Amino acid sequence: MAGGFAGGGAVAGRAEFYEGKITGYFILACIVGSFGGSLFGYDLGVSSGVTSMDDFLKKFFPDVYNRKQAHLLETDYCKYDNQVLTLFTSSLYFAGLVSTFGASYVTKRRGRRASIMVGAASFFAGGAINAGAMNIAMLIVGRVLLGVGIGFGNQAVPLYLSEIAPYRIRGAVNQLFQLTTCLGILVADIINYFTDRLHPWGWRLSLGLAMGPATAIFIGALFLPETPNSLVERGHLEEARRVLEKVRGTHKVDAEFEDLKEASEAARAVKGTFRNLLAVRNRPQLIIGALGIPAFQQLSGMNSILFYSPVIFQSLGFGSSAALYSSIITGSMLVVGALISMVTVDRLGRRFLFIEAGVQMISSMVVVAVILALKFGHGEELSKGVSTVLVVAICLFVVAYGWSWGPLGWLVPSELFPLEMRSAGQSVVVCVNLFWTAAVAQCFLAALCHLKWGVFVLFASLIVVMSIFVILLLPETKQVPIEEIWMLFDKHWYWKRIVRRDPKYQGNIHQQQEMGTGSA
Protein backbone atom coordinates (compact mmCIF):
# COMPACT_ATOMS: atom_id res chain seq x y z
CA MET A 1 0.00 0.00 0.00
CA ALA A 2 2.87 2.35 0.62
CA GLY A 3 4.66 4.22 -2.07
CA GLY A 4 7.81 3.10 -3.73
CA PHE A 5 11.13 4.18 -5.04
CA ALA A 6 12.22 6.76 -7.52
CA GLY A 7 13.99 9.85 -6.29
CA GLY A 8 14.14 9.10 -2.63
CA GLY A 9 13.99 5.78 -0.94
CA ALA A 10 11.08 4.26 0.86
CA VAL A 11 12.01 1.42 3.13
CA ALA A 12 11.55 -1.92 1.50
CA GLY A 13 11.39 -5.14 3.42
CA ARG A 14 8.84 -4.29 6.13
CA ALA A 15 5.96 -5.95 4.27
CA GLU A 16 6.27 -9.13 6.32
CA PHE A 17 5.31 -7.09 9.39
CA TYR A 18 2.12 -5.66 7.86
CA GLU A 19 -0.96 -6.67 9.83
CA GLY A 20 -4.67 -6.36 9.24
CA LYS A 21 -7.81 -8.08 8.04
CA ILE A 22 -10.60 -7.52 5.57
CA THR A 23 -13.03 -5.17 7.29
CA GLY A 24 -16.51 -4.02 6.40
CA TYR A 25 -15.19 -0.47 6.18
CA PHE A 26 -12.59 -1.57 3.64
CA ILE A 27 -15.20 -3.46 1.58
CA LEU A 28 -17.50 -0.43 1.55
CA ALA A 29 -14.65 1.84 0.44
CA CYS A 30 -13.77 -0.55 -2.39
CA ILE A 31 -17.34 -0.88 -3.63
CA VAL A 32 -18.03 2.87 -3.65
CA GLY A 33 -14.63 3.74 -5.09
CA SER A 34 -14.71 1.12 -7.81
CA PHE A 35 -18.05 2.32 -9.15
CA GLY A 36 -16.17 5.13 -10.84
CA GLY A 37 -15.55 2.56 -13.56
CA SER A 38 -19.28 2.35 -14.26
CA LEU A 39 -19.16 5.84 -15.79
CA PHE A 40 -16.61 4.73 -18.38
CA GLY A 41 -18.46 1.48 -19.01
CA TYR A 42 -21.92 3.01 -19.31
CA ASP A 43 -20.69 5.49 -21.87
CA LEU A 44 -18.96 2.79 -23.93
CA GLY A 45 -22.13 0.73 -24.04
CA VAL A 46 -24.61 3.56 -24.58
CA SER A 47 -22.57 5.22 -27.35
CA SER A 48 -22.32 2.00 -29.30
CA GLY A 49 -26.07 1.39 -29.15
CA VAL A 50 -27.29 4.93 -29.74
CA THR A 51 -25.19 5.37 -32.89
CA SER A 52 -27.08 2.46 -34.47
CA MET A 53 -30.59 3.66 -33.49
CA ASP A 54 -32.67 4.88 -36.43
CA ASP A 55 -34.32 7.75 -34.52
CA PHE A 56 -30.93 9.11 -33.46
CA LEU A 57 -29.48 8.80 -36.96
CA LYS A 58 -32.53 10.43 -38.60
CA LYS A 59 -32.26 13.49 -36.33
CA PHE A 60 -28.51 14.07 -36.41
CA PHE A 61 -27.02 11.99 -39.24
CA PRO A 62 -29.63 11.62 -42.03
CA ASP A 63 -27.03 10.70 -44.66
CA VAL A 64 -25.89 7.72 -42.58
CA TYR A 65 -29.51 6.73 -42.00
CA ASN A 66 -30.30 6.82 -45.74
CA ARG A 67 -27.20 4.76 -46.58
CA LYS A 68 -28.11 2.28 -43.86
CA GLN A 69 -31.64 1.87 -45.26
CA ALA A 70 -30.27 1.32 -48.76
CA HIS A 71 -28.31 -1.70 -47.45
CA LEU A 72 -30.70 -2.74 -44.69
CA LEU A 73 -30.43 -6.50 -45.18
CA GLU A 74 -27.09 -6.52 -46.98
CA THR A 75 -23.54 -6.65 -45.82
CA ASP A 76 -21.68 -3.40 -46.37
CA TYR A 77 -18.33 -2.44 -44.88
CA CYS A 78 -18.96 1.28 -45.46
CA LYS A 79 -22.53 1.54 -44.17
CA TYR A 80 -21.56 3.74 -41.19
CA ASP A 81 -18.44 5.48 -42.50
CA ASN A 82 -19.05 9.09 -41.38
CA GLN A 83 -16.42 11.20 -39.61
CA VAL A 84 -18.95 13.41 -37.82
CA LEU A 85 -20.67 10.31 -36.44
CA THR A 86 -17.37 8.97 -35.17
CA LEU A 87 -16.57 12.43 -33.73
CA PHE A 88 -19.67 11.98 -31.55
CA THR A 89 -17.91 9.01 -29.98
CA SER A 90 -14.29 10.16 -30.00
CA SER A 91 -14.83 13.76 -28.79
CA LEU A 92 -15.40 12.39 -25.28
CA TYR A 93 -11.98 10.76 -25.24
CA PHE A 94 -10.16 13.81 -26.58
CA ALA A 95 -11.76 15.83 -23.75
CA GLY A 96 -10.75 13.18 -21.22
CA LEU A 97 -7.21 13.29 -22.57
CA VAL A 98 -6.89 17.02 -21.84
CA SER A 99 -8.73 16.95 -18.51
CA THR A 100 -6.53 14.25 -17.00
CA PHE A 101 -3.76 16.80 -16.36
CA GLY A 102 -6.15 18.90 -14.31
CA ALA A 103 -7.18 15.68 -12.61
CA SER A 104 -3.54 15.03 -11.69
CA TYR A 105 -3.39 18.33 -9.79
CA VAL A 106 -6.67 17.72 -7.97
CA THR A 107 -5.75 14.11 -7.16
CA LYS A 108 -2.41 15.11 -5.65
CA ARG A 109 -3.42 18.37 -3.90
CA ARG A 110 -7.00 17.58 -2.89
CA GLY A 111 -7.01 13.81 -2.76
CA ARG A 112 -8.30 10.84 -4.73
CA ARG A 113 -11.85 11.26 -3.40
CA ALA A 114 -12.06 14.87 -4.65
CA SER A 115 -11.19 13.79 -8.20
CA ILE A 116 -13.84 11.08 -8.11
CA MET A 117 -16.46 13.65 -7.04
CA VAL A 118 -15.45 16.18 -9.72
CA GLY A 119 -15.65 13.44 -12.33
CA ALA A 120 -19.13 12.39 -11.20
CA ALA A 121 -20.42 15.99 -11.29
CA SER A 122 -19.08 16.60 -14.79
CA PHE A 123 -20.47 13.29 -16.03
CA PHE A 124 -23.91 14.21 -14.64
CA ALA A 125 -23.87 17.54 -16.51
CA GLY A 126 -22.81 15.85 -19.75
CA GLY A 127 -25.58 13.27 -19.50
CA ALA A 128 -28.19 15.98 -18.94
CA ILE A 129 -27.06 18.01 -21.97
CA ASN A 130 -26.93 14.95 -24.24
CA ALA A 131 -30.41 13.86 -23.18
CA GLY A 132 -31.83 17.24 -24.20
CA ALA A 133 -29.64 17.75 -27.30
CA MET A 134 -31.34 19.48 -30.23
CA ASN A 135 -28.34 19.66 -32.56
CA ILE A 136 -24.88 18.18 -33.10
CA ALA A 137 -23.21 21.07 -31.23
CA MET A 138 -25.15 20.20 -28.05
CA LEU A 139 -24.22 16.56 -28.50
CA ILE A 140 -20.52 17.42 -28.72
CA VAL A 141 -20.66 19.76 -25.69
CA GLY A 142 -22.34 17.01 -23.67
CA ARG A 143 -19.72 14.52 -24.83
CA VAL A 144 -16.92 16.88 -23.79
CA LEU A 145 -18.35 17.13 -20.26
CA LEU A 146 -18.69 13.36 -20.14
CA GLY A 147 -15.04 13.17 -21.22
CA VAL A 148 -13.95 15.44 -18.37
CA GLY A 149 -15.81 13.14 -15.99
CA ILE A 150 -14.07 10.08 -17.38
CA GLY A 151 -10.68 11.82 -17.35
CA PHE A 152 -11.02 12.54 -13.62
CA GLY A 153 -12.54 9.17 -12.76
CA ASN A 154 -10.05 7.05 -14.68
CA GLN A 155 -7.19 9.02 -13.16
CA ALA A 156 -8.31 8.66 -9.55
CA VAL A 157 -10.14 5.33 -9.20
CA PRO A 158 -7.29 2.91 -10.10
CA LEU A 159 -4.99 4.83 -7.75
CA TYR A 160 -7.58 4.78 -4.97
CA LEU A 161 -8.09 1.01 -5.22
CA SER A 162 -4.38 0.17 -5.47
CA GLU A 163 -3.52 2.35 -2.48
CA ILE A 164 -6.28 1.24 -0.13
CA ALA A 165 -5.87 -2.50 -0.81
CA PRO A 166 -3.67 -4.90 1.22
CA TYR A 167 -0.80 -5.89 -1.06
CA ARG A 168 -1.72 -9.59 -1.07
CA ILE A 169 -5.06 -8.91 -2.79
CA ARG A 170 -4.17 -5.68 -4.59
CA GLY A 171 -4.74 -7.25 -8.01
CA ALA A 172 -8.26 -8.45 -7.25
CA VAL A 173 -9.25 -5.19 -5.56
CA ASN A 174 -7.93 -3.02 -8.36
CA GLN A 175 -9.88 -5.09 -10.86
CA LEU A 176 -13.12 -3.96 -9.28
CA PHE A 177 -12.62 -0.94 -11.55
CA GLN A 178 -12.71 -3.16 -14.62
CA LEU A 179 -15.62 -5.17 -13.25
CA THR A 180 -17.77 -2.08 -12.75
CA THR A 181 -16.71 -0.87 -16.20
CA CYS A 182 -17.92 -4.15 -17.69
CA LEU A 183 -21.14 -4.04 -15.68
CA GLY A 184 -21.68 -0.49 -16.94
CA ILE A 185 -21.31 -1.71 -20.52
CA LEU A 186 -23.71 -4.60 -19.96
CA VAL A 187 -26.34 -2.42 -18.26
CA ALA A 188 -26.08 0.10 -21.11
CA ASP A 189 -26.49 -2.67 -23.72
CA ILE A 190 -29.63 -3.93 -21.98
CA ILE A 191 -31.04 -0.40 -21.72
CA ASN A 192 -30.33 0.22 -25.41
CA TYR A 193 -32.14 -2.99 -26.33
CA PHE A 194 -35.34 -1.70 -24.75
CA THR A 195 -35.04 2.03 -25.54
CA ASP A 196 -34.56 1.20 -29.23
CA ARG A 197 -38.28 0.36 -29.24
CA LEU A 198 -39.32 3.72 -27.73
CA HIS A 199 -39.89 5.98 -30.72
CA PRO A 200 -38.76 8.68 -31.28
CA TRP A 201 -37.13 9.51 -27.92
CA GLY A 202 -35.61 6.24 -26.77
CA TRP A 203 -32.07 7.42 -27.50
CA ARG A 204 -32.62 10.41 -25.18
CA LEU A 205 -33.46 8.04 -22.32
CA SER A 206 -30.32 5.99 -22.97
CA LEU A 207 -28.09 9.06 -22.89
CA GLY A 208 -29.90 10.70 -19.96
CA LEU A 209 -29.67 7.67 -17.71
CA ALA A 210 -25.94 8.38 -17.46
CA MET A 211 -26.97 10.79 -14.71
CA GLY A 212 -27.97 7.81 -12.54
CA PRO A 213 -24.52 6.29 -11.86
CA ALA A 214 -22.99 9.77 -11.69
CA THR A 215 -25.41 10.74 -8.90
CA ALA A 216 -24.80 7.49 -7.01
CA ILE A 217 -21.02 7.90 -7.18
CA PHE A 218 -21.10 11.53 -6.04
CA ILE A 219 -23.28 10.74 -3.04
CA GLY A 220 -21.24 7.64 -2.18
CA ALA A 221 -17.99 9.62 -2.39
CA LEU A 222 -19.24 11.94 0.37
CA PHE A 223 -18.87 8.98 2.75
CA LEU A 224 -15.72 7.58 1.16
CA PRO A 225 -12.50 7.59 3.24
CA GLU A 226 -9.46 9.20 1.65
CA THR A 227 -6.52 6.81 1.15
CA PRO A 228 -3.87 6.92 3.90
CA ASN A 229 -1.27 7.42 1.13
CA SER A 230 -2.93 10.65 0.00
CA LEU A 231 -3.42 11.90 3.56
CA VAL A 232 0.24 11.31 4.42
CA GLU A 233 1.29 12.92 1.16
CA ARG A 234 -0.68 16.06 2.13
CA GLY A 235 0.63 16.12 5.70
CA HIS A 236 -2.46 14.82 7.56
CA LEU A 237 -0.57 12.20 9.56
CA GLU A 238 -2.99 11.70 12.45
CA GLU A 239 -5.97 11.29 10.13
CA ALA A 240 -3.94 8.96 7.92
CA ARG A 241 -3.08 6.74 10.88
CA ARG A 242 -6.71 6.71 12.00
CA VAL A 243 -7.99 5.76 8.52
CA LEU A 244 -5.31 3.09 8.12
CA GLU A 245 -6.27 1.49 11.45
CA LYS A 246 -9.94 1.56 10.54
CA VAL A 247 -9.40 0.11 7.05
CA ARG A 248 -7.07 -2.63 8.33
CA GLY A 249 -9.15 -3.38 11.44
CA THR A 250 -6.19 -3.24 13.82
CA HIS A 251 -4.05 -0.76 15.75
CA LYS A 252 -0.90 -2.67 14.78
CA VAL A 253 -0.13 -0.73 11.62
CA ASP A 254 3.27 0.66 12.62
CA ALA A 255 5.25 -1.06 9.84
CA GLU A 256 2.88 -0.03 7.06
CA PHE A 257 2.51 3.50 8.42
CA GLU A 258 6.29 3.95 8.63
CA ASP A 259 6.59 2.89 4.99
CA LEU A 260 3.93 5.43 4.08
CA LYS A 261 5.72 8.25 5.88
CA GLU A 262 9.10 7.41 4.39
CA ALA A 263 7.63 7.12 0.91
CA SER A 264 6.03 10.52 1.41
CA GLU A 265 9.33 12.04 2.54
CA ALA A 266 10.96 10.63 -0.58
CA ALA A 267 8.13 12.10 -2.66
CA ARG A 268 8.63 15.58 -1.16
CA ALA A 269 12.32 15.44 -2.04
CA VAL A 270 11.47 15.01 -5.70
CA LYS A 271 10.88 18.18 -7.72
CA GLY A 272 9.17 18.16 -11.10
CA THR A 273 7.23 14.89 -10.97
CA PHE A 274 6.39 14.85 -14.66
CA ARG A 275 10.03 15.52 -15.54
CA ASN A 276 11.06 12.82 -13.08
CA LEU A 277 9.22 10.29 -15.24
CA LEU A 278 11.95 10.78 -17.84
CA ALA A 279 14.80 9.89 -15.45
CA VAL A 280 16.83 6.83 -16.45
CA ARG A 281 16.00 5.05 -13.18
CA ASN A 282 12.28 5.36 -14.02
CA ARG A 283 12.59 4.21 -17.63
CA PRO A 284 10.78 0.88 -17.01
CA GLN A 285 7.77 2.65 -15.49
CA LEU A 286 7.72 5.10 -18.40
CA ILE A 287 7.99 2.50 -21.18
CA ILE A 288 5.80 -0.21 -19.65
CA GLY A 289 3.33 1.65 -17.45
CA ALA A 290 2.92 5.10 -18.97
CA LEU A 291 3.32 4.40 -22.69
CA GLY A 292 3.25 0.73 -23.65
CA ILE A 293 0.39 -0.91 -21.78
CA PRO A 294 -2.19 1.93 -22.05
CA ALA A 295 -1.51 2.26 -25.80
CA PHE A 296 -1.64 -1.48 -26.44
CA GLN A 297 -4.86 -1.80 -24.44
CA GLN A 298 -6.60 0.27 -27.12
CA LEU A 299 -4.64 -1.04 -30.11
CA SER A 300 -5.97 -4.51 -29.35
CA GLY A 301 -9.15 -3.39 -31.14
CA MET A 302 -11.38 -4.18 -28.19
CA ASN A 303 -12.85 -0.73 -27.69
CA SER A 304 -13.63 -0.53 -31.40
CA ILE A 305 -15.71 -3.66 -30.99
CA LEU A 306 -17.38 -2.17 -27.90
CA PHE A 307 -17.97 1.22 -29.54
CA TYR A 308 -19.40 -0.19 -32.67
CA SER A 309 -20.59 -3.71 -31.88
CA PRO A 310 -24.21 -2.97 -32.92
CA VAL A 311 -22.87 -1.14 -35.97
CA ILE A 312 -20.55 -4.06 -36.79
CA PHE A 313 -23.33 -6.60 -36.42
CA GLN A 314 -25.68 -4.50 -38.55
CA SER A 315 -22.95 -4.12 -41.17
CA LEU A 316 -22.67 -7.91 -41.10
CA GLY A 317 -26.34 -8.15 -42.05
CA PHE A 318 -27.93 -8.52 -38.60
CA GLY A 319 -31.15 -6.59 -38.01
CA SER A 320 -31.28 -3.66 -35.55
CA SER A 321 -32.70 -5.63 -32.62
CA ALA A 322 -30.48 -8.62 -33.34
CA ALA A 323 -27.44 -6.34 -33.37
CA LEU A 324 -28.28 -4.88 -29.95
CA TYR A 325 -29.00 -8.36 -28.62
CA SER A 326 -25.60 -9.52 -29.84
CA SER A 327 -24.06 -6.57 -27.99
CA ILE A 328 -25.65 -7.81 -24.77
CA ILE A 329 -23.98 -11.17 -25.36
CA THR A 330 -20.54 -9.60 -25.86
CA GLY A 331 -21.10 -7.35 -22.82
CA SER A 332 -21.89 -10.43 -20.74
CA MET A 333 -18.66 -12.06 -21.93
CA LEU A 334 -16.75 -9.02 -20.76
CA VAL A 335 -18.25 -9.34 -17.26
CA VAL A 336 -17.41 -13.07 -17.20
CA GLY A 337 -13.82 -12.28 -18.18
CA ALA A 338 -13.52 -9.65 -15.44
CA LEU A 339 -14.80 -12.08 -12.79
CA ILE A 340 -12.36 -14.77 -13.92
CA SER A 341 -9.52 -12.25 -13.78
CA MET A 342 -10.42 -11.17 -10.24
CA VAL A 343 -10.23 -14.77 -9.05
CA THR A 344 -7.01 -15.69 -10.86
CA VAL A 345 -4.85 -12.55 -11.10
CA ASP A 346 -3.21 -12.94 -7.68
CA ARG A 347 -2.77 -16.69 -8.17
CA LEU A 348 -1.73 -17.14 -11.80
CA GLY A 349 -0.13 -13.73 -12.14
CA ARG A 350 -0.31 -10.85 -14.58
CA ARG A 351 2.05 -12.28 -17.20
CA PHE A 352 0.18 -15.58 -17.52
CA LEU A 353 -3.14 -13.83 -18.17
CA PHE A 354 -1.57 -11.45 -20.69
CA ILE A 355 0.13 -14.23 -22.65
CA GLU A 356 -2.74 -16.76 -22.64
CA ALA A 357 -5.22 -14.10 -23.71
CA GLY A 358 -2.88 -12.96 -26.46
CA VAL A 359 -3.00 -16.41 -28.07
CA GLN A 360 -6.80 -16.55 -27.77
CA MET A 361 -7.32 -13.02 -29.10
CA ILE A 362 -5.01 -13.55 -32.08
CA SER A 363 -6.81 -16.78 -32.99
CA SER A 364 -10.22 -15.11 -32.76
CA MET A 365 -9.23 -12.17 -34.96
CA VAL A 366 -7.78 -14.52 -37.57
CA VAL A 367 -11.03 -16.52 -37.65
CA VAL A 368 -13.07 -13.33 -38.07
CA ALA A 369 -10.76 -12.08 -40.84
CA VAL A 370 -10.86 -15.37 -42.76
CA ILE A 371 -14.67 -15.61 -42.62
CA LEU A 372 -15.11 -12.02 -43.72
CA ALA A 373 -12.60 -12.45 -46.54
CA LEU A 374 -14.46 -15.47 -47.88
CA LYS A 375 -18.11 -14.70 -47.14
CA PHE A 376 -18.54 -10.98 -46.62
CA GLY A 377 -18.79 -7.81 -48.70
CA HIS A 378 -20.65 -9.13 -51.74
CA GLY A 379 -23.98 -7.46 -50.98
CA GLU A 380 -25.51 -10.68 -49.70
CA GLU A 381 -26.95 -11.54 -46.31
CA LEU A 382 -24.74 -13.83 -44.24
CA SER A 383 -26.12 -17.27 -43.43
CA LYS A 384 -27.08 -18.10 -39.84
CA GLY A 385 -24.22 -20.56 -39.54
CA VAL A 386 -21.59 -18.07 -40.63
CA SER A 387 -23.12 -15.33 -38.46
CA THR A 388 -23.04 -17.66 -35.44
CA VAL A 389 -19.35 -18.44 -35.96
CA LEU A 390 -18.62 -14.72 -36.18
CA VAL A 391 -20.44 -13.98 -32.93
CA VAL A 392 -18.68 -16.88 -31.16
CA ALA A 393 -15.27 -15.71 -32.39
CA ILE A 394 -15.96 -12.15 -31.23
CA CYS A 395 -17.16 -13.45 -27.85
CA LEU A 396 -13.97 -15.50 -27.40
CA PHE A 397 -11.98 -12.37 -28.20
CA VAL A 398 -14.01 -10.29 -25.75
CA VAL A 399 -13.80 -12.76 -22.85
CA ALA A 400 -10.02 -13.08 -23.30
CA TYR A 401 -9.66 -9.30 -23.27
CA GLY A 402 -11.94 -9.24 -20.22
CA TRP A 403 -9.47 -11.22 -18.13
CA SER A 404 -6.30 -9.66 -19.52
CA TRP A 405 -5.75 -6.33 -21.25
CA GLY A 406 -9.02 -4.87 -19.94
CA PRO A 407 -8.35 -5.08 -16.18
CA LEU A 408 -4.57 -5.46 -16.30
CA GLY A 409 -4.26 -2.39 -18.51
CA TRP A 410 -5.31 -0.37 -15.45
CA LEU A 411 -3.91 -2.58 -12.68
CA VAL A 412 -0.29 -2.94 -13.82
CA PRO A 413 0.44 0.77 -14.47
CA SER A 414 -1.18 1.77 -11.16
CA GLU A 415 1.14 -0.52 -9.19
CA LEU A 416 4.38 0.33 -11.05
CA PHE A 417 4.65 4.02 -10.10
CA PRO A 418 6.15 5.07 -6.74
CA LEU A 419 4.24 7.57 -4.58
CA GLU A 420 6.19 10.66 -5.61
CA MET A 421 5.11 10.35 -9.23
CA ARG A 422 2.05 8.15 -8.90
CA SER A 423 -0.46 10.89 -9.65
CA ALA A 424 1.60 12.27 -12.54
CA GLY A 425 2.27 8.78 -13.86
CA GLN A 426 -1.40 7.86 -13.74
CA SER A 427 -2.25 11.05 -15.62
CA VAL A 428 0.10 10.03 -18.42
CA VAL A 429 -1.46 6.55 -18.39
CA VAL A 430 -4.97 7.99 -18.78
CA CYS A 431 -3.78 10.53 -21.36
CA VAL A 432 -2.11 7.88 -23.53
CA ASN A 433 -5.06 5.52 -23.07
CA LEU A 434 -7.65 8.13 -24.07
CA PHE A 435 -5.53 9.40 -26.98
CA TRP A 436 -5.43 5.96 -28.54
CA THR A 437 -9.06 5.33 -27.59
CA ALA A 438 -10.07 8.48 -29.45
CA ALA A 439 -7.77 7.81 -32.40
CA VAL A 440 -9.00 4.24 -32.85
CA ALA A 441 -12.63 5.32 -32.40
CA GLN A 442 -12.24 8.07 -35.01
CA CYS A 443 -10.47 5.83 -37.53
CA PHE A 444 -12.13 2.44 -37.07
CA LEU A 445 -15.20 2.83 -39.29
CA ALA A 446 -13.10 4.40 -42.05
CA ALA A 447 -10.56 1.60 -41.68
CA LEU A 448 -13.36 -0.99 -41.82
CA CYS A 449 -14.61 0.65 -45.01
CA HIS A 450 -11.23 0.80 -46.76
CA LEU A 451 -9.30 -2.16 -45.30
CA LYS A 452 -12.42 -4.36 -45.05
CA TRP A 453 -11.49 -7.69 -43.43
CA GLY A 454 -7.86 -6.55 -43.32
CA VAL A 455 -8.61 -4.36 -40.28
CA PHE A 456 -8.99 -7.53 -38.19
CA VAL A 457 -5.67 -8.86 -39.52
CA LEU A 458 -4.16 -5.54 -38.44
CA PHE A 459 -5.50 -5.97 -34.91
CA ALA A 460 -4.22 -9.57 -34.80
CA SER A 461 -0.75 -8.37 -35.82
CA LEU A 462 -0.77 -5.68 -33.13
CA ILE A 463 -1.72 -8.28 -30.50
CA VAL A 464 1.32 -10.33 -31.56
CA VAL A 465 3.52 -7.28 -30.89
CA MET A 466 1.76 -6.65 -27.56
CA SER A 467 2.31 -10.22 -26.40
CA ILE A 468 6.01 -10.13 -27.28
CA PHE A 469 6.28 -6.82 -25.38
CA VAL A 470 4.87 -8.46 -22.24
CA ILE A 471 7.01 -11.59 -22.55
CA LEU A 472 10.24 -9.64 -22.88
CA LEU A 473 9.77 -6.55 -20.70
CA LEU A 474 7.15 -7.02 -17.97
CA PRO A 475 8.27 -8.61 -14.65
CA GLU A 476 5.69 -10.46 -12.57
CA THR A 477 4.20 -8.21 -9.88
CA LYS A 478 1.70 -10.54 -8.20
CA GLN A 479 1.76 -10.40 -4.38
CA VAL A 480 4.68 -7.96 -4.37
CA PRO A 481 4.11 -4.99 -1.99
CA ILE A 482 3.64 -1.84 -4.02
CA GLU A 483 6.61 -0.16 -2.31
CA GLU A 484 8.92 -3.01 -3.36
CA ILE A 485 7.97 -3.30 -7.04
CA TRP A 486 10.83 -1.03 -8.13
CA MET A 487 13.29 -3.75 -7.00
CA LEU A 488 11.93 -6.10 -9.67
CA PHE A 489 13.58 -3.98 -12.36
CA ASP A 490 16.96 -4.31 -10.67
CA LYS A 491 16.67 -8.08 -11.19
CA HIS A 492 15.11 -8.05 -14.67
CA TRP A 493 17.33 -9.35 -17.49
CA TYR A 494 16.97 -6.16 -19.55
CA TRP A 495 15.88 -3.33 -17.25
CA LYS A 496 18.74 -3.83 -14.80
CA ARG A 497 21.13 -2.68 -17.52
CA ILE A 498 19.11 0.52 -17.91
CA VAL A 499 18.28 1.55 -14.34
CA ARG A 500 21.79 0.90 -13.01
CA ARG A 501 23.15 3.65 -15.26
CA ASP A 502 21.52 6.26 -13.03
CA PRO A 503 23.86 7.43 -10.19
CA LYS A 504 20.88 8.24 -7.95
CA TYR A 505 19.65 4.70 -8.37
CA GLN A 506 22.89 3.23 -7.04
CA GLY A 507 22.88 5.71 -4.16
CA ASN A 508 19.39 4.72 -3.16
CA ILE A 509 20.22 1.00 -3.40
CA HIS A 510 22.90 1.55 -0.74
CA GLN A 511 20.50 3.70 1.31
CA GLN A 512 17.84 0.97 1.17
CA GLN A 513 20.34 -1.65 2.29
CA GLU A 514 21.57 0.48 5.21
CA MET A 515 18.04 1.35 6.35
CA GLY A 516 16.95 -2.27 5.99
CA THR A 517 19.89 -3.41 8.09
CA GLY A 518 19.15 -0.77 10.69
CA SER A 519 15.49 -1.75 10.96
CA ALA A 520 16.42 -5.40 11.29
pTM for this structure? 0.77
406 three-state secondary structure: helix
User: Quick count: other Cβ atoms within 10 Å of Cβ 272?
Assistant: 12
Q: Where does the pLDDT of residue 4 fall: very low under 50, low under 70, confident under 90, or very high at 90 and above?
A: very low
Nearest to 368 by CA among 385, 391, 340, 346: 391
292/44: higher pLDDT: 292
Q: Given a cut of 60, is residue 73 above it in pLDDT? A: no
pLDDT for the residue numbered 191 = 93
pLDDT for the residue numbered 512 = 54
21 three-state secondary structure: coil
pLDDT for the residue numbered 304 = 66
- Chain centroid to Cα 273, Å, comes to 23
pLDDT for the residue numbered 514 = 53
Average pLDDT of the residues in 332-352? 92
Average pLDDT of the residues in 469-474? 96
User: Quick count: other Cβ atoms within 10 Å of Cβ 42?
Assistant: 28
- Chain centroid to Cα 405, Å, comes to 9
User: Cis omega (within 30 of 0) on the bond before 310?
Assistant: no
For the domain made up of 21-224+270-482, the CATH class stated in words is: mainly alpha
Let me know: does 277 contact 286? Beta carbons within 8 Å: yes
189/209: higher pLDDT: 209
125 three-state secondary structure: helix
**Every domain of the chain and the residues it spans:** 21-224+270-482
Greatest Cα pair distance, the chain, in angstroms, is 77
Let me know: does 483 contact 263? Beta carbons within 8 Å: yes
Among 23-32, 343-352, 359-368, 503-512, name the one with the lowest average pLDDT: 503-512
**Tens of pLDDT along 217-235?**
999 889 888 999 899 988 8
Let me know: does 203 contact 56? Beta carbons within 8 Å: yes
Instruction: Work out the percent of the chain whose per-residue pLDDT is above 70.
Output: 84
Q: Where does the pLDDT of residue 40 fall: very low under 50, low under 70, confident under 90, or very high at 90 and above?
A: confident
Rounded Cα gap, residues 218 and 116, in angstroms = 8
Rounded Cα gap, residues 481 and 477, in angstroms = 9
